[in-house]
Amino acid sequence: MTRTSPTTDPAPRPTSAALALAFLVIALASFGGGLSAWAQRVLVERRRWMDQDEFLSALTLCRLLPGPNQVNMAVYVGTRFGGLPGMLAAVAGLVVVPTAILLGLGALYFHYRHLAALDAALRGAVAAAAAMTLAMGVKVGRPLLRDPGAIALAVAAFVAVHVLRWPLLWVVAVLGPLGVWWAWPSPRRIEEPA
8-35 pLDDT, tens per residue?
566 778 999 999 999 999 998 876 567 8
Residues of the domain holding 64: 16-144
Q: To which H or E segment does residue 49 belong?
A: none
Q: Is the domain of 129 the same as that of 75?
A: yes
Quote the number of domains for the chain.
2
End-of-domain residue from the set 144, 166, 181: 144
Please tell me the pTM assigned to this model: 0.62
What one-character DSSP code corresponds to residue 12? P
Q: Is the domain of 86 the same as that of 67?
A: yes
pLDDT band at 88 (very low <50, low <70, confident <90, very high): very high
Q: Is the domain of 94 the same as that of 175?
A: no
* Domain-embedded: residue 165: yes
Q: Is the domain of 64 the same as that of 159?
A: no
Convert the pLDDT of each residue in 172-185 to its tens digit: 889 888 888 887 77
Q: Is the domain of 114 the same as that of 176?
A: no
* Domain-embedded: residue 117: yes
What one-character DSSP code corresponds to residue 15? P
Is 60 a residue whose pLDDT tops 60?
yes
How far apart (Å, rounded) are the C-alpha atoms in residues 131 and 75? 26
